[in-house]
Amino acid sequence: MSGVDFHYYEPSQGHGLKYNPLNALIAPRPIGWISSRDAEGRVNLAPYSFFNAFNYDPPIIGFSSIAWKDSVRNASETGEFVWNLVTRELGDRMNATSAPLPHGVDEFPIAGLTAVPGRVVNVPRVGESRAAMECKVIDIVQFRNTGGDKVNGWLVLGEVVAVYIDKLLIDDGVYQTAQALPIMRAGGLNDYVQVSPENVFQIMRLTGAGSKEHHGA
């Protein structure tokens, strides 16, 4: 794009800005509101903005942490976790579960949330959430840099073994994403965006020989 004055930087040399722009550039991002349980049976609930879906069959989702935090530790110990959908009305309570608390403290009562026992995993879901996925851990990967050195970051991948969806969000067999009013991280220190029906538009997929797929879409 000619004529644009780009701010250019190489991450290894620093970004030269007030705040690291990475998570603002890759935005909006769905929130991994992860509930888990440690080997001693203590429950944890925490939000992760580095979260997404990675495969259809089997269904695989994952979240990453910039440190060996409780959710990663618990997933490593018990091999299970649950993802809970964050919608606008749950935003403040989701934020309350991000507070730095001692290991073993249950965020459910602190945030005024209901812990509903899982059916396939021994981890509760958020009763107030309109959708949730129970997961079995299939891999935990520690990141490395280009030199092959391990860094303080982990990716937790789980196969979805049970799904809960509020039936009011299903219309003619199709889950209506925007009707749930989900919120997502939008960079900055406190920025979020909300998906709502009036902001949804359609771009028809190309079909026929030679057309490219929307991989994973």
Stretch among 135-139, 157-161, 198-202 having the lowest mean pLDDT: 198-202
Q: What is the pLDDT of residue 207?
A: 74
Q: What is the pLDDT of residue 209?
A: 53
Average pLDDT value for residue range 1-9: 87
Mean pLDDT of all residues in the chain?
A: 93
Percent residues over pLDDT 90 in the chain: 78
Residue 216 pLDDT level (bands cut at 50, 70, 90): low
pLDDT at 108 over 70: yes
Average pLDDT value for residue range 191-213: 79
pLDDT at 112 over 60: yes
Residue 88 pLDDT level (bands cut at 50, 70, 90): very high
Q: Residue 149: CA atoms inside 13 Å, Cβ hemisphere, count?
A: 3
pTM of the model: 0.91
Write out pLDDT tens, residues 28-73: 999 999 999 999 999 999 999 999 999 999 999 999 999 999 999 9
Which top CATH class is 11-199? Answer: mainly beta
Distance (Å, whole) CA 196 – CA 193? 10
Q: In what order do the strands lie in the sheet with 29-30?
A: 29-30, 183-185, 192-194
Q: Over the Cα atoms of the chain, what is R_g?
A: 19
Only one residue has tokens 């026992």, namely: 117
Q: What is the pLDDT of residue 23?
A: 85
Q: What is the pLDDT of residue 217?
A: 57
Residue 214 pLDDT level (bands cut at 50, 70, 90): low
Write out pLDDT tens, residues 123-147: 999 999 999 999 999 999 999 999 9
Q: Is residue 74 a contact partner of residue 37, using CB atoms and an 8 Å limit?
A: yes
pLDDT at 188 over 80: no
Residue scoring higher pLDDT (112 or 23): 112
Distance (Å, whole) CA 187 – CA 67? 19
CA 108, chain centre distance (Å): 18
Q: What is the pLDDT of residue 102?
A: 87
